[in-house]
Structure 1
């Protein structure tokens, strides 16, 4: 089997490189216009302006759409790149306010090649490092960037976002997990919970589910907090790593879409302005629109309910792969499948407590309370949780605890080293995932998929079409928020146009249904993608093999998405 895997892996890489060179040499980019709607206004001096990040931005000049080199009729006759890539224009059909017109490009179905290669290699080789790097190389060759280190990796990794991830997940998270491993705090906490609250797999999973719901900020914050908290006690209760990682992952972004008192509405509202639509006119209107869509967030609702049922040992909807993992753990005590390769190091799954050091569960709880407290307080005061402050504070308190109880500085530093070593592979995977996501966006994969969508659709099928489209985009790029930036500016005007053409009785309800389909379809794709940061972190913090997590999670997630698609179609037919 190993020889066959190696041959298939090599064949996939070779075919990917051949395809990339073919695109670079023979396939011309297809340029398409995209319209970005801002809430513009005129200043006292008569200049057009808009607000960005709380600051007023003046629009220097506005052209007529017919004369713009970025207009579609000009892009259709291009033989090279357009002279400019974006321009403010007046479009009479869209009102008197200016619109930002942008020139984007794609290579048709070839734009999906890097993501396809990365996902295929993940499935074939079960080695995410090889898969992601191969996808990056393929994408680089397609763009004519053959010096992968200088032209691709350095520009994408030498960014604020990449540095932020490196500091958070390598230094702070790794350091905290290492200190807990060195002091035995996590194991002491697991022992205390096992004695007082957790009596078996069901109660351990229920605690995990409740923490996932409690940390409704979503995304990476939830997966890290919940995963690191529950793993020691879940291991003692014989909860398989596949079911644990599924609960952690499926109560991250799905719960954030349902309990939306977080950064999501403020981020997404910027993409959903449609001129002439009164209920989307102001930022407050658009945030209210987001909250009005929550009853239609069927995927998020069913994903959270599905994990609750699994926590209660009701596995009818969990799928055969997950049931097999549960049976293995309960009967044999093996928390991982045979041949599994967890992406967290063995050192973090073992303790190396000094002989004269006595662990206490408060050494785990107090840093955790500090972490959660800082995140919540900064969210309430600034509107965005300061995750770096939270983890830095928790790490500092954990170190002070250890030194205060008599641990030698040398032992403490050894614990930090253990932690950093334990997450270094996962951190590299995260960095590569960021890079391949940026390349997929640069190649226009999402733009191509949305460009396939015509405007002559029956209104009742649009929610499912948008759901499938965003599922594919998010799965291919590994990001839901990136998918929102691609899909919403294109999908929202399409929803409104179809609602008007079909003369629907309740166009706002129809748009709420379609909006929820985009929101939840992106969550599904991100959650199930092997190149998503939340997927990787759920595996890392629970000690699960990445591809085992993907294969066991995709069955119940797809079941929830199928039910959601049916309900969106029925709602569109009956309520629009």
Structure 2
């Protein structure tokens, strides 16, 4: 074990500085790994250092059976997501939903519901729901800023709550790397699922949409955007947008039928083993998920061919392209695993835990984690990169100082998501505004007050959960959110009535 002192923080500090400077988390992680290897090898020969890094650190992470299983599963997920996005099924499903829409609040709820149903792709949601609902929002005089806000609130916030899609698999891969040493008796699945009620920001972000829509509680720049569109103004709109793939033969069944096949395959493989009442080994569960995604993709390829939407060869090409699209995520994971392994050899987490034990209150760790993760995510525009940086530091510290681990996991995830939502440079901001035909800065400006409101509530919830780690805290946070919006709405109406009487 390397001496546990402040020098052990160097790789993570380099990772942070390079990530913030370049806004490229992959480059930051790679730089941190190189610095860690340099410290352990105590050599400045670049050929020797690089050879040692590949042979003794990168390759073992890829060949580890658990890590390999995660990477294989991500590849299958990537292929399926690409097929879903390019099948026309999402467009057909959304079109079916829009046929029932007659009012402003209905169109907002319909877009929100569509975003939840298209849960399998956080970046695909804005590019499917946005273009389909944009004409209907224009027709009913609901601003495109509101549409961008809705699709942004049902993309990442929904995806991060689902354990069996790309987000969940990626996060569990990061969690497991820390638990295998610090808490081997806890599975990464149990940790992720147990932390779901403590993902305060994601839950608040999803719930705020129907509350605003049904009670007309808009405030700040969003309220002004809504008034402007009612007056016939289209400030902040843009023609630079995308169209989701559509085909006259595409059917809504392209969405639900493959998902039904996937669930059926998973249940057939796992129920005889006692699922969900008995714990299933991670390897078996990942094998079942991989099988489910493969057969779901096969079903979708055959459905598209039978409906003459895409030939089988085209479907296979899309599938392989989607697999290839997961390469960057795989690179981030491998580098994050490697940085974590280097940190253990250097004693990074042990040093942080020892410093924290010397005087840092355990109940404050979730709130501090949320703030730090939010700052990193805001500056880099990457929530996934933030998870990779924060998880290896927070989990061992939480266990060492007896801070509620599940709450700390929720704080890492919520902080990364909150910073991403507030960042004008994040991918979700770009995709949500592009898919909705809304100016990128206008979407950032109108969404920010809602994000800050939810962020303040989440921070308060993490303070409370640090002291009293109860699942009921999320219900209190939701109740306070609704109460605050209601009070703000009443104050807004009061001001309007006062102005009207003065004019009179």
Smaller-chain TM-score bracket: 0.5 to 0.7
Note the alpha carbon deviations across 1:245-286, whole angstroms, 9 max, x for none.
332212333587xxxx999999979978999xxxx99879x9
Q: Could you tell me how far apart the structure 2 residues matched to 1:224 and 1:420 are?
A: 18
CA displacement at 1:401 relative to structure 2: 2.4
SS in 2 for 1:349: coil
2:151 equivalent to 1:244: yes
Note the alpha carbon deviations across 1:200-227, whole angstroms, 9 max, x for none.
6744543454577789xxxx85748966
Residues 115, 461 of structure 1: CA spacing in aligned structure 2 closer, same or farther, 3 A cutoff?
closer
Residues 295, 245 of structure 1: CA spacing in aligned structure 2 closer, same or farther, 3 A cutoff?
closer
More strand by share: 1
Residues 109, 472 of structure 1: CA spacing in aligned structure 2 closer, same or farther, 3 A cutoff?
farther
Residues 521, 398 of structure 1: CA spacing in aligned structure 2 closer, same or farther, 3 A cutoff?
same
* 1:441 maps to which of 340, 354, 378: 340
The residue aligned with 2:94 is: 190
| Pairs within 5 Å for 1:339-488 | 349-351=244-246, 353=247, 358-374=249-265, 381=275, 384=285, 386-405=288-307, 409=311, 412-414=312-314, 416-417=316-317, 427-438=326-337, 440-442=339-341, 444=343, 447=349, 452-457=355-360, 461-468=364-371, 478=385, 480=387, 483=390, 486-488=393-395
CA displacement at 1:192 relative to structure 2: 1.9
Q: Could you tell me how far apart the structure 2 residues matched to 1:492 and 1:203 are?
A: 46
| Pairs within 5 Å for 1:16-165 | 31-32=3-4, 107-108=8-9, 111-122=12-23, 131-142=24-35, 143-144=37-38, 155=59, 160=68, 161-165=70-74
Note the alpha carbon deviations across 1:376-402, whole angstroms, 9 max, x for none.
766764655744333323322222223
The residue aligned with 2:408 is: 518
Q: Could you tell me how far apart the structure 1 residues matched to 2:292 and 2:178 are?
A: 29
Q: Could you tell me how far apart the structure 1 residues matched to 2:427 and 2:269 are?
A: 26
Q: Compute the TM-score of the two structures, normalised by the length of structure 2.
A: 0.58
Residues 327, 168 of structure 1: CA spacing in aligned structure 2 closer, same or farther, 3 A cutoff?
farther
Residues 483, 190 of structure 1: CA spacing in aligned structure 2 closer, same or farther, 3 A cutoff?
same
Q: Compute the TM-score of the two structures, normalised by the length of structure 1.
A: 0.52
Q: Could you tell me how far apart the structure 1 residues matched to 2:72 and 2:170 are?
A: 21
> Larger relative CO (CA 8 A, sep 6+): 1 or 2?
2
Note the alpha carbon deviations across 1:83-142, whole angstroms, 9 max, x for none.
xxxxxxxxxxxxxxxxxxxxxx964355232244234433xxxxxxxx245335533542
Quote the RMSD (CA, aligned, Å): 5.8
Flag structure 2 segments of 5+ consecutive residues without an equivalent: 39-44, 138-143, 471-504
Q: Could you tell me how far apart the structure 2 residues matched to 1:132 and 1:304 are?
A: 27
* Larger of the two Rg values belongs to structure: 1
Q: Could you tell me how far apart the structure 2 residues matched to 1:138 and 1:269 are?
A: 23
Residues 177, 295 of structure 1: CA spacing in aligned structure 2 closer, same or farther, 3 A cutoff?
closer
CA contact (8 A) 1:473 1:483 kept: no
Q: Could you tell me how far apart the structure 1 residues matched to 2:464 and 2:358 are?
A: 21
CA contact (8 A) 2:149 2:432 kept: no
Q: Could you tell me how far apart the structure 2 residues matched to 1:201 and 1:483 are?
A: 41
Q: Could you tell me how far apart the structure 1 residues matched to 2:411 and 2:111 are?
A: 24
User: Which shifted more, 389-398 or 427-436?
Assistant: 427-436
SS in 1 for 2:358: coil
The residue aligned with 2:399 is: 492
CA displacement at 1:367 relative to structure 2: 2.9
